[in-house]
Structure 1
Amino acid sequence: MVGFGWSMQRMREAIMLVFVAIWSSSKAASTWWRSDTDEAWDNCLSWRLGVEANNIRAWRTVPPECSTHVEVYMVRGQYQRDVNLIVDTICAYIDTIDLSSDGLDAWILDVDDTCISNLFYYSGKRYGCEPFDPVGFKAWALSARLFVKLIAKGFKVFLVTGRDEDTLGQATIRNLHAQGFFAYHHDDDDVDDNDLCRSGAYKGQSAIAYKSTVRKQLAEEGFRIWGNVGDQWSDLQGEYTGNRTFKLPNPMYYIP
Protein backbone atom coordinates (compact mmCIF):
# COMPACT_ATOMS: atom_id res chain seq x y z
CA MET A 1 0.00 0.00 0.00
CA VAL A 2 2.84 2.34 0.78
CA GLY A 3 4.32 1.71 -2.65
CA PHE A 4 0.96 2.24 -4.31
CA GLY A 5 0.39 5.53 -2.45
CA TRP A 6 3.87 6.71 -3.38
CA SER A 7 3.20 5.88 -7.05
CA MET A 8 -0.10 7.81 -7.02
CA GLN A 9 1.65 10.79 -5.47
CA ARG A 10 4.35 10.72 -8.14
CA MET A 11 1.70 10.41 -10.85
CA ARG A 12 -0.20 13.44 -9.52
CA GLU A 13 3.01 15.44 -9.43
CA ALA A 14 3.83 14.41 -12.99
CA ILE A 15 0.36 15.39 -14.21
CA MET A 16 0.68 18.73 -12.43
CA LEU A 17 4.08 19.38 -14.02
CA VAL A 18 2.68 18.60 -17.46
CA PHE A 19 -0.26 20.94 -16.85
CA VAL A 20 2.01 23.75 -15.67
CA ALA A 21 4.29 23.25 -18.68
CA ILE A 22 1.35 23.37 -21.10
CA TRP A 23 -0.12 26.45 -19.38
CA SER A 24 3.23 28.24 -19.36
CA SER A 25 3.78 27.45 -23.02
CA SER A 26 0.30 28.66 -23.89
CA LYS A 27 0.79 31.83 -21.86
CA ALA A 28 4.12 32.52 -23.49
CA ALA A 29 2.66 31.96 -26.94
CA SER A 30 -0.26 34.24 -26.12
CA THR A 31 2.09 36.95 -24.85
CA TRP A 32 4.27 36.61 -27.92
CA TRP A 33 1.20 36.81 -30.17
CA ARG A 34 0.02 40.01 -28.48
CA SER A 35 3.41 41.62 -28.50
CA ASP A 36 3.41 42.28 -32.23
CA THR A 37 0.25 44.36 -32.08
CA ASP A 38 0.25 45.56 -28.49
CA GLU A 39 3.85 46.76 -28.52
CA ALA A 40 3.20 48.94 -31.56
CA TRP A 41 0.00 50.25 -29.98
CA ASP A 42 1.75 50.92 -26.68
CA ASN A 43 4.53 52.75 -28.50
CA CYS A 44 1.91 55.04 -30.05
CA LEU A 45 0.34 55.56 -26.64
CA SER A 46 3.77 56.58 -25.33
CA TRP A 47 4.21 58.92 -28.29
CA ARG A 48 0.84 60.56 -27.61
CA LEU A 49 1.71 60.97 -23.92
CA GLY A 50 5.00 62.58 -24.92
CA VAL A 51 3.12 65.00 -27.16
CA GLU A 52 0.56 65.96 -24.51
CA ALA A 53 3.28 66.42 -21.88
CA ASN A 54 5.20 68.67 -24.32
CA ASN A 55 8.22 66.38 -24.17
CA ILE A 56 7.97 65.73 -27.92
CA ARG A 57 8.07 69.02 -29.79
CA ALA A 58 8.26 70.43 -33.29
CA TRP A 59 6.77 67.32 -34.89
CA ARG A 60 5.32 67.87 -38.34
CA THR A 61 3.02 64.87 -38.71
CA VAL A 62 1.75 61.92 -36.72
CA PRO A 63 4.01 58.87 -37.23
CA PRO A 64 2.38 56.75 -39.98
CA GLU A 65 2.30 53.69 -37.76
CA CYS A 66 0.19 55.65 -35.25
CA SER A 67 -2.55 56.71 -37.68
CA THR A 68 -5.02 54.09 -36.47
CA HIS A 69 -4.16 54.76 -32.83
CA VAL A 70 -4.91 58.48 -33.20
CA GLU A 71 -8.09 57.78 -35.18
CA VAL A 72 -9.40 55.40 -32.51
CA TYR A 73 -8.56 57.89 -29.77
CA MET A 74 -10.29 60.77 -31.54
CA VAL A 75 -13.48 59.11 -32.78
CA ARG A 76 -14.29 56.25 -30.42
CA GLY A 77 -15.01 58.20 -27.28
CA GLN A 78 -11.78 58.57 -25.32
CA TYR A 79 -10.96 62.03 -26.68
CA GLN A 80 -14.42 63.33 -25.78
CA ARG A 81 -14.20 61.77 -22.32
CA ASP A 82 -10.84 63.47 -21.78
CA VAL A 83 -12.24 66.84 -22.92
CA ASN A 84 -15.30 66.44 -20.70
CA LEU A 85 -13.12 65.70 -17.69
CA ILE A 86 -11.02 68.81 -18.34
CA VAL A 87 -14.11 70.98 -18.82
CA ASP A 88 -15.57 69.60 -15.58
CA THR A 89 -12.31 70.51 -13.83
CA ILE A 90 -12.41 74.02 -15.27
CA CYS A 91 -16.05 74.46 -14.23
CA ALA A 92 -15.20 73.40 -10.68
CA TYR A 93 -12.42 76.01 -10.63
CA ILE A 94 -14.78 78.69 -12.00
CA ASP A 95 -17.18 78.00 -9.13
CA THR A 96 -14.46 78.96 -6.62
CA ILE A 97 -13.87 82.42 -8.12
CA ASP A 98 -15.53 85.53 -6.70
CA LEU A 99 -15.73 88.10 -9.47
CA SER A 100 -15.40 91.80 -8.78
CA SER A 101 -17.94 94.37 -9.90
CA ASP A 102 -15.54 96.30 -12.13
CA GLY A 103 -16.01 94.07 -15.19
CA LEU A 104 -12.31 93.29 -15.48
CA ASP A 105 -12.36 89.57 -14.71
CA ALA A 106 -11.20 87.90 -17.92
CA TRP A 107 -10.85 84.45 -19.42
CA ILE A 108 -8.98 83.50 -22.57
CA LEU A 109 -10.01 80.76 -24.98
CA ASP A 110 -8.10 79.58 -28.00
CA VAL A 111 -10.27 79.01 -31.09
CA ASP A 112 -9.03 75.94 -33.00
CA ASP A 113 -9.86 72.67 -31.23
CA THR A 114 -10.89 74.66 -28.17
CA CYS A 115 -14.00 76.52 -29.32
CA ILE A 116 -14.33 74.85 -32.71
CA SER A 117 -13.08 71.45 -33.81
CA ASN A 118 -10.98 70.61 -36.85
CA LEU A 119 -11.51 66.87 -36.48
CA PHE A 120 -13.47 66.56 -39.72
CA TYR A 121 -10.69 68.29 -41.63
CA TYR A 122 -7.98 66.10 -40.09
CA SER A 123 -9.94 62.92 -40.74
CA GLY A 124 -9.23 63.66 -44.39
CA LYS A 125 -5.56 64.09 -43.52
CA ARG A 126 -5.32 60.61 -41.97
CA TYR A 127 -5.61 62.13 -38.50
CA GLY A 128 -2.42 64.14 -38.74
CA CYS A 129 -0.32 61.77 -40.83
CA GLU A 130 -0.45 64.27 -43.68
CA PRO A 131 0.76 67.87 -43.30
CA PHE A 132 -1.54 70.81 -42.63
CA ASP A 133 -3.06 72.35 -45.76
CA PRO A 134 -4.18 75.96 -45.13
CA VAL A 135 -6.20 76.08 -48.36
CA GLY A 136 -8.42 73.18 -47.38
CA PHE A 137 -8.70 74.06 -43.71
CA LYS A 138 -12.17 74.60 -42.24
CA ALA A 139 -13.68 74.24 -38.79
CA TRP A 140 -16.60 72.59 -37.00
CA ALA A 141 -17.86 73.26 -33.48
CA LEU A 142 -16.93 71.72 -30.17
CA SER A 143 -19.29 71.90 -27.20
CA ALA A 144 -19.90 75.47 -26.05
CA ARG A 145 -20.67 74.35 -22.47
CA LEU A 146 -17.60 76.04 -21.03
CA PHE A 147 -18.17 79.25 -22.97
CA VAL A 148 -21.79 79.48 -21.80
CA LYS A 149 -20.77 78.98 -18.16
CA LEU A 150 -18.10 81.67 -18.38
CA ILE A 151 -20.53 84.20 -19.84
CA ALA A 152 -23.20 83.32 -17.27
CA LYS A 153 -20.67 83.75 -14.47
CA GLY A 154 -19.84 87.25 -15.69
CA PHE A 155 -16.39 86.83 -17.23
CA LYS A 156 -15.21 88.85 -20.19
CA VAL A 157 -14.28 86.02 -22.55
CA PHE A 158 -11.54 86.79 -25.06
CA LEU A 159 -11.05 84.54 -28.06
CA VAL A 160 -7.40 84.64 -29.11
CA THR A 161 -6.47 82.88 -32.32
CA GLY A 162 -3.42 82.79 -34.52
CA ARG A 163 -5.55 82.23 -37.63
CA ASP A 164 -4.65 84.42 -40.56
CA GLU A 165 -7.16 87.20 -41.13
CA ASP A 166 -6.87 87.21 -44.92
CA THR A 167 -7.41 83.49 -45.52
CA LEU A 168 -9.55 82.37 -42.57
CA GLY A 169 -11.13 85.48 -41.07
CA GLN A 170 -14.63 85.19 -42.51
CA ALA A 171 -14.80 81.39 -42.22
CA THR A 172 -13.83 81.65 -38.55
CA ILE A 173 -16.50 84.22 -37.81
CA ARG A 174 -19.20 82.23 -39.61
CA ASN A 175 -18.34 79.08 -37.68
CA LEU A 176 -18.29 80.88 -34.33
CA HIS A 177 -21.58 82.66 -34.97
CA ALA A 178 -23.24 79.47 -36.21
CA GLN A 179 -22.39 77.79 -32.90
CA GLY A 180 -23.61 80.61 -30.68
CA PHE A 181 -20.33 82.35 -29.92
CA PHE A 182 -21.44 85.98 -29.82
CA ALA A 183 -20.71 87.58 -26.46
CA TYR A 184 -16.96 87.24 -26.74
CA HIS A 185 -14.37 90.00 -26.79
CA HIS A 186 -11.12 91.02 -28.40
CA ASP A 187 -9.00 93.57 -26.57
CA ASP A 188 -11.26 95.96 -24.60
CA ASP A 189 -14.33 96.03 -26.85
CA ASP A 190 -16.90 93.60 -28.14
CA VAL A 191 -15.11 91.77 -30.87
CA ASP A 192 -14.80 93.50 -34.20
CA ASP A 193 -15.17 90.75 -36.76
CA ASN A 194 -12.25 92.22 -38.66
CA ASP A 195 -10.00 92.04 -35.58
CA LEU A 196 -10.63 88.48 -34.40
CA CYS A 197 -7.86 86.83 -36.44
CA ARG A 198 -4.20 87.72 -36.68
CA SER A 199 -3.64 90.77 -38.85
CA GLY A 200 -0.75 91.37 -41.21
CA ALA A 201 1.06 93.37 -38.53
CA TYR A 202 1.69 90.15 -36.60
CA LYS A 203 2.58 87.88 -39.49
CA GLY A 204 5.80 85.99 -38.96
CA GLN A 205 5.49 85.94 -35.17
CA SER A 206 5.33 82.62 -33.40
CA ALA A 207 2.09 81.69 -31.68
CA ILE A 208 3.75 82.20 -28.29
CA ALA A 209 4.96 85.71 -29.18
CA TYR A 210 1.68 86.79 -30.77
CA LYS A 211 -0.57 85.51 -27.98
CA SER A 212 1.74 86.92 -25.31
CA THR A 213 1.35 90.33 -26.95
CA VAL A 214 -2.44 90.09 -26.87
CA ARG A 215 -2.48 88.97 -23.24
CA LYS A 216 -0.05 91.72 -22.27
CA GLN A 217 -2.37 94.32 -23.81
CA LEU A 218 -5.26 92.95 -21.76
CA ALA A 219 -3.22 93.01 -18.55
CA GLU A 220 -2.11 96.59 -19.20
CA GLU A 221 -5.76 97.55 -19.64
CA GLY A 222 -6.44 96.23 -16.15
CA PHE A 223 -7.92 92.83 -16.92
CA ARG A 224 -7.33 89.99 -14.50
CA ILE A 225 -6.82 86.79 -16.49
CA TRP A 226 -8.24 84.01 -14.33
CA GLY A 227 -7.94 81.22 -16.85
CA ASN A 228 -6.48 80.33 -20.23
CA VAL A 229 -7.57 77.30 -22.26
CA GLY A 230 -5.97 75.90 -25.40
CA ASP A 231 -5.11 72.70 -27.22
CA GLN A 232 -1.51 73.75 -27.97
CA TRP A 233 1.26 74.40 -25.48
CA SER A 234 2.00 77.57 -27.43
CA ASP A 235 -1.45 78.83 -26.32
CA LEU A 236 -0.37 78.55 -22.70
CA GLN A 237 3.26 79.65 -22.72
CA GLY A 238 4.95 83.04 -22.74
CA GLU A 239 3.92 86.10 -20.73
CA TYR A 240 0.69 86.86 -18.88
CA THR A 241 -0.62 83.32 -19.25
CA GLY A 242 -3.22 83.74 -16.49
CA ASN A 243 -3.87 82.47 -12.99
CA ARG A 244 -4.46 78.93 -14.29
CA THR A 245 -3.91 77.27 -17.64
CA PHE A 246 -5.76 74.23 -18.97
CA LYS A 247 -4.45 72.07 -21.83
CA LEU A 248 -6.93 70.21 -24.03
CA PRO A 249 -5.65 67.08 -25.81
CA ASN A 250 -4.61 67.29 -29.46
CA PRO A 251 -2.47 64.53 -31.00
CA MET A 252 -3.21 65.63 -34.59
CA TYR A 253 -0.95 68.65 -35.10
CA TYR A 254 1.65 70.86 -33.42
CA ILE A 255 1.91 74.66 -33.50
CA PRO A 256 5.18 76.14 -32.16
Structure 2
Amino acid sequence: MHTPTQTMASTLLFLLLTATTAIASPNIIHLLRPHSGSGGHKHSNLNCLSWRLAVETNNLQKWTQVPQACEDYIGHYMLGKQYRRDCDLVAAEAYEYAKALNLTGDGKDVWVFDIDETTLSNLPYYARDTVAFGAIPFNSTAFNAWVVEATAPAIPGSLKLYKKLLKLGLKIVFLTGSEEIYMEARVKNLKAVGYTTWEKLIMKGVGEGSGVVYKSKKRKELEEGGYRIRGNMGDQWSDLLGSNAGDRTFKVPDPMYYIG
Protein backbone atom coordinates (compact mmCIF):
# COMPACT_ATOMS: atom_id res chain seq x y z
CA MET A 1 0.00 0.00 0.00
CA HIS A 2 1.31 3.43 -0.96
CA THR A 3 1.69 6.03 1.73
CA PRO A 4 0.19 9.50 1.17
CA THR A 5 3.70 10.79 0.55
CA GLN A 6 4.38 8.13 -2.11
CA THR A 7 1.03 8.81 -3.78
CA MET A 8 1.74 12.54 -3.92
CA ALA A 9 5.21 11.88 -5.35
CA SER A 10 3.77 9.61 -8.04
CA THR A 11 1.18 12.22 -8.97
CA LEU A 12 3.81 14.93 -9.26
CA LEU A 13 6.00 12.66 -11.41
CA PHE A 14 3.04 11.93 -13.74
CA LEU A 15 2.26 15.62 -14.10
CA LEU A 16 5.90 16.40 -14.78
CA LEU A 17 6.17 13.71 -17.49
CA THR A 18 2.90 14.90 -19.06
CA ALA A 19 4.08 18.50 -19.18
CA THR A 20 7.47 17.49 -20.60
CA THR A 21 5.81 15.44 -23.36
CA ALA A 22 3.49 18.29 -24.25
CA ILE A 23 6.43 20.69 -24.56
CA ALA A 24 8.44 18.25 -26.67
CA SER A 25 5.48 17.41 -28.92
CA PRO A 26 3.37 20.57 -29.32
CA ASN A 27 1.56 19.23 -32.39
CA ILE A 28 -0.04 16.21 -30.74
CA ILE A 29 -3.64 16.05 -31.93
CA HIS A 30 -6.43 14.53 -29.85
CA LEU A 31 -8.27 11.97 -31.94
CA LEU A 32 -11.64 13.61 -31.37
CA ARG A 33 -10.57 17.22 -30.89
CA PRO A 34 -7.94 18.12 -33.53
CA HIS A 35 -6.49 21.57 -32.92
CA SER A 36 -4.33 22.00 -35.97
CA GLY A 37 -5.54 23.53 -39.21
CA SER A 38 -3.70 23.93 -42.52
CA GLY A 39 -0.06 24.82 -42.10
CA GLY A 40 -0.11 23.87 -38.41
CA HIS A 41 -2.04 26.95 -37.30
CA LYS A 42 -5.05 26.70 -35.03
CA HIS A 43 -8.60 27.31 -36.21
CA SER A 44 -11.81 27.42 -34.27
CA ASN A 45 -14.13 26.51 -37.16
CA LEU A 46 -12.81 23.03 -37.79
CA ASN A 47 -15.85 22.10 -39.87
CA CYS A 48 -14.36 24.29 -42.59
CA LEU A 49 -11.70 21.66 -43.27
CA SER A 50 -14.46 19.11 -43.92
CA TRP A 51 -16.24 21.67 -46.08
CA ARG A 52 -13.10 22.14 -48.20
CA LEU A 53 -12.67 18.37 -48.51
CA ALA A 54 -16.25 18.08 -49.75
CA VAL A 55 -15.57 20.78 -52.33
CA GLU A 56 -12.40 19.15 -53.63
CA THR A 57 -14.02 15.72 -53.92
CA ASN A 58 -17.07 17.17 -55.70
CA ASN A 59 -19.35 15.94 -52.94
CA LEU A 60 -20.58 19.49 -52.42
CA GLN A 61 -22.10 20.92 -55.59
CA LYS A 62 -23.97 24.00 -56.78
CA TRP A 63 -22.81 26.15 -53.88
CA THR A 64 -22.71 29.88 -54.52
CA GLN A 65 -20.26 31.26 -51.97
CA VAL A 66 -17.89 30.31 -49.18
CA PRO A 67 -19.70 30.03 -45.81
CA GLN A 68 -19.16 33.18 -43.76
CA ALA A 69 -17.76 31.12 -40.90
CA CYS A 70 -15.05 29.74 -43.19
CA GLU A 71 -13.72 33.02 -44.58
CA ASP A 72 -10.70 33.14 -42.26
CA TYR A 73 -9.95 29.47 -42.77
CA ILE A 74 -10.07 29.69 -46.57
CA GLY A 75 -7.99 32.86 -46.50
CA HIS A 76 -5.37 31.19 -44.37
CA TYR A 77 -5.30 28.15 -46.62
CA MET A 78 -5.04 30.09 -49.85
CA LEU A 79 -2.35 32.47 -48.60
CA GLY A 80 -0.45 29.84 -46.65
CA LYS A 81 2.03 27.12 -47.47
CA GLN A 82 -0.50 24.33 -47.76
CA TYR A 83 -2.20 25.66 -50.89
CA ARG A 84 1.19 26.13 -52.56
CA ARG A 85 2.21 22.60 -51.58
CA ASP A 86 -1.05 21.12 -52.84
CA CYS A 87 -0.62 22.82 -56.22
CA ASP A 88 3.00 21.72 -56.42
CA LEU A 89 2.04 18.11 -55.76
CA VAL A 90 -0.56 18.10 -58.53
CA ALA A 91 1.99 19.59 -60.94
CA ALA A 92 4.63 17.06 -59.94
CA GLU A 93 2.26 14.13 -60.48
CA ALA A 94 1.19 15.56 -63.82
CA TYR A 95 4.81 15.73 -64.95
CA GLU A 96 5.52 12.16 -63.84
CA TYR A 97 2.62 11.07 -66.00
CA ALA A 98 3.55 13.28 -68.96
CA LYS A 99 7.19 12.25 -69.19
CA ALA A 100 6.13 8.61 -69.52
CA LEU A 101 3.90 9.33 -72.53
CA ASN A 102 4.80 7.96 -75.93
CA LEU A 103 4.44 11.14 -77.98
CA THR A 104 4.00 10.91 -81.73
CA GLY A 105 6.03 13.99 -82.62
CA ASP A 106 3.45 15.17 -85.17
CA GLY A 107 2.47 18.23 -83.15
CA LYS A 108 -1.00 16.89 -82.34
CA ASP A 109 -0.37 15.81 -78.74
CA VAL A 110 -1.77 18.58 -76.56
CA TRP A 111 -2.14 19.43 -72.90
CA VAL A 112 -5.20 21.46 -71.96
CA PHE A 113 -4.88 24.05 -69.20
CA ASP A 114 -7.64 26.12 -67.67
CA ILE A 115 -6.55 29.67 -66.76
CA ASP A 116 -8.20 31.07 -63.60
CA GLU A 117 -6.84 29.35 -60.46
CA THR A 118 -5.07 26.82 -62.68
CA THR A 119 -2.33 28.74 -64.46
CA LEU A 120 -3.06 32.28 -63.24
CA SER A 121 -3.99 33.12 -59.66
CA ASN A 122 -6.69 35.63 -58.79
CA LEU A 123 -5.68 35.71 -55.13
CA PRO A 124 -4.82 39.43 -55.16
CA TYR A 125 -8.45 40.00 -56.11
CA TYR A 126 -10.02 37.40 -53.84
CA ALA A 127 -8.05 38.66 -50.83
CA ARG A 128 -9.79 42.04 -51.05
CA ASP A 129 -12.21 42.94 -48.24
CA THR A 130 -14.95 43.29 -50.83
CA VAL A 131 -14.48 39.68 -51.96
CA ALA A 132 -13.36 37.94 -48.73
CA PHE A 133 -12.03 34.80 -50.44
CA GLY A 134 -15.46 34.05 -51.91
CA ALA A 135 -17.47 34.64 -48.72
CA ILE A 136 -19.11 37.66 -50.36
CA PRO A 137 -21.40 37.06 -53.39
CA PHE A 138 -19.60 37.13 -56.73
CA ASN A 139 -19.51 40.51 -58.49
CA SER A 140 -18.89 39.93 -62.20
CA THR A 141 -18.31 43.64 -62.92
CA ALA A 142 -15.57 43.92 -60.30
CA PHE A 143 -13.97 40.64 -61.34
CA ASN A 144 -13.93 41.55 -65.02
CA ALA A 145 -12.28 44.87 -64.14
CA TRP A 146 -9.60 42.85 -62.37
CA VAL A 147 -9.14 40.67 -65.47
CA VAL A 148 -8.62 43.79 -67.58
CA GLU A 149 -5.78 44.86 -65.25
CA ALA A 150 -3.88 41.77 -66.52
CA THR A 151 -1.78 41.55 -63.35
CA ALA A 152 -2.68 38.10 -62.05
CA PRO A 153 0.44 36.19 -60.97
CA ALA A 154 1.28 32.71 -62.20
CA ILE A 155 0.68 29.69 -60.02
CA PRO A 156 4.31 28.57 -59.56
CA GLY A 157 3.75 24.83 -59.84
CA SER A 158 1.66 25.18 -62.97
CA LEU A 159 4.16 27.49 -64.66
CA LYS A 160 6.96 25.05 -63.91
CA LEU A 161 4.86 22.19 -65.33
CA TYR A 162 4.00 24.25 -68.43
CA LYS A 163 7.69 24.76 -69.22
CA LYS A 164 8.48 21.08 -68.72
CA LEU A 165 5.61 19.99 -70.95
CA LEU A 166 6.90 22.19 -73.75
CA LYS A 167 10.32 20.58 -73.46
CA LEU A 168 8.72 17.16 -73.72
CA GLY A 169 7.18 18.17 -77.04
CA LEU A 170 3.57 18.65 -75.95
CA LYS A 171 1.57 21.51 -77.41
CA ILE A 172 -0.31 23.74 -74.98
CA VAL A 173 -3.97 24.65 -75.28
CA PHE A 174 -5.50 27.18 -72.89
CA LEU A 175 -9.24 26.61 -72.55
CA THR A 176 -10.97 29.18 -70.37
CA GLY A 177 -14.47 30.33 -69.55
CA SER A 178 -13.34 33.95 -69.92
CA GLU A 179 -15.19 35.81 -72.64
CA GLU A 180 -13.49 36.66 -75.93
CA ILE A 181 -13.75 40.39 -75.25
CA TYR A 182 -10.97 39.90 -72.69
CA MET A 183 -8.63 38.20 -75.14
CA GLU A 184 -6.11 41.05 -75.22
CA ALA A 185 -5.91 41.23 -71.43
CA ARG A 186 -5.53 37.48 -71.06
CA VAL A 187 -2.78 37.27 -73.67
CA LYS A 188 -0.94 40.16 -72.03
CA ASN A 189 -1.25 38.60 -68.57
CA LEU A 190 -0.18 35.11 -69.64
CA LYS A 191 2.90 36.34 -71.48
CA ALA A 192 3.89 38.75 -68.72
CA VAL A 193 4.21 35.96 -66.14
CA GLY A 194 5.97 33.38 -68.31
CA TYR A 195 3.37 31.56 -70.42
CA THR A 196 4.89 32.80 -73.63
CA THR A 197 3.72 30.33 -76.26
CA TRP A 198 0.77 28.05 -76.96
CA GLU A 199 -0.98 26.19 -79.73
CA LYS A 200 -4.42 27.65 -79.03
CA LEU A 201 -6.08 30.04 -76.60
CA ILE A 202 -9.79 29.23 -76.56
CA MET A 203 -12.14 31.74 -75.00
CA LYS A 204 -15.91 31.79 -74.71
CA GLY A 205 -17.98 33.42 -77.41
CA VAL A 206 -21.41 35.00 -77.01
CA GLY A 207 -24.08 32.48 -76.06
CA GLU A 208 -21.73 29.54 -75.60
CA GLY A 209 -22.70 28.95 -72.00
CA SER A 210 -20.29 27.77 -69.36
CA GLY A 211 -19.20 24.79 -67.35
CA VAL A 212 -19.24 21.19 -68.46
CA VAL A 213 -21.23 21.73 -71.66
CA TYR A 214 -19.02 24.54 -72.96
CA LYS A 215 -15.72 22.86 -72.18
CA SER A 216 -16.84 19.48 -73.50
CA LYS A 217 -17.82 21.14 -76.77
CA LYS A 218 -14.46 22.86 -77.16
CA ARG A 219 -12.51 19.71 -76.35
CA LYS A 220 -14.58 17.78 -78.87
CA GLU A 221 -13.73 20.39 -81.50
CA LEU A 222 -10.04 19.97 -80.68
CA GLU A 223 -10.18 16.21 -81.15
CA GLU A 224 -12.24 16.54 -84.31
CA GLY A 225 -9.45 18.79 -85.58
CA GLY A 226 -6.96 15.94 -85.13
CA TYR A 227 -5.54 16.84 -81.73
CA ARG A 228 -5.03 14.25 -78.99
CA ILE A 229 -5.67 15.55 -75.47
CA ARG A 230 -3.02 13.75 -73.46
CA GLY A 231 -3.61 15.71 -70.27
CA ASN A 232 -6.20 18.13 -68.92
CA MET A 233 -5.77 20.34 -65.85
CA GLY A 234 -8.27 22.63 -64.13
CA ASP A 235 -9.40 23.94 -60.76
CA GLN A 236 -13.10 23.13 -61.29
CA TRP A 237 -14.69 19.74 -61.77
CA SER A 238 -16.50 21.29 -64.73
CA ASP A 239 -13.06 21.62 -66.37
CA LEU A 240 -12.53 17.88 -66.13
CA LEU A 241 -15.91 16.19 -66.43
CA GLY A 242 -18.03 15.65 -69.53
CA SER A 243 -17.01 14.35 -72.93
CA ASN A 244 -13.56 14.39 -74.56
CA ALA A 245 -11.90 15.06 -71.20
CA GLY A 246 -8.53 13.71 -72.33
CA ASP A 247 -6.41 10.71 -71.45
CA ARG A 248 -5.95 11.87 -67.88
CA THR A 249 -7.20 14.77 -65.79
CA PHE A 250 -5.57 16.68 -62.92
CA LYS A 251 -7.43 18.94 -60.51
CA VAL A 252 -5.74 21.76 -58.63
CA PRO A 253 -7.44 22.99 -55.44
CA ASP A 254 -9.88 25.89 -55.39
CA PRO A 255 -12.27 26.31 -52.44
CA MET A 256 -13.13 29.93 -53.33
CA TYR A 257 -15.82 29.41 -55.95
CA TYR A 258 -17.82 26.83 -57.84
CA ILE A 259 -18.59 26.62 -61.57
CA GLY A 260 -20.98 23.87 -62.57
Give the TM-score of the pair, scaled to structure 1.
0.81
1:146 and 2:161 matched: yes
Corresponding residue for residue 8 of structure 2: 15
Match runs of 1:45-124 below 5 Å = 45-124=49-128
RMSD value over aligned CA atoms?
2.7
Q: Distance in 2 between matches of 1:208 and 1:184?
A: 23
- How far off is 1:20 after superposition? 9.8
- How far off is 1:14 after superposition? 4.2
Secondary structure, counterpart of 1:141 in structure 2: coil
- How far off is 1:43 after superposition? 0.7
Secondary structure, counterpart of 1:184 in structure 2: coil
1:176 aligns with one of 190, 193, 205 = 190
Corresponding residue for residue 135 of structure 2: 129
Unaligned runs of 5+ in 1: 1-5
Q: What is the identity, as a one-letter code, of the residue corresponding to 1:240?
A: N
Cα offsets for 1:188-230 (capped at 9, x unmatched): xxx5xxxx3211141xx23100100011111112221110000
Secondary structure, counterpart of 1:209 in structure 2: helix
Unaligned runs of 5+ in 2: 23-29
Aligned-residue sequence identity (percent) comes to: 37
- How far off is 1:141 after superposition? 2.3
1:215 and 2:219 matched: yes
Cα offsets for 1:213-253 (capped at 9, x unmatched): 01111111222111000000000000010111000000111
Work out which of the two has the higher radius of gyration on C-alpha atoms and give 1 or 2: 1
Distance 1:21 1:149, change over 3 A: closer
Q: Distance in 2 between matches of 1:22 and 1:85?
A: 42
Cα offsets for 1:128-151 (capped at 9, x unmatched): 111222222225122321111111
Of stretches 70-79 and 130-139 in structure 1, the one that deviates more from structure 2 is: 130-139
Distance 1:224 1:34, change over 3 A: closer
- How far off is 1:78 after superposition? 1.0
Q: Distance in 2 between matches of 1:150 and 1:39?
A: 38
Give the TM-score of the pair, scaled to structure 2.
0.80
Are the equivalent residues in 1 in contact too, given 2:43–2:73 (CA < 8 A)? no
Of stretches 39-48 and 91-100 in structure 1, the one that deviates more from structure 2 is: 39-48
Are the equivalent residues in 1 in contact too, given 2:107–2:170 (CA < 8 A)? yes
Q: Distance in 2 between matches of 1:180 and 1:200?
A: 29
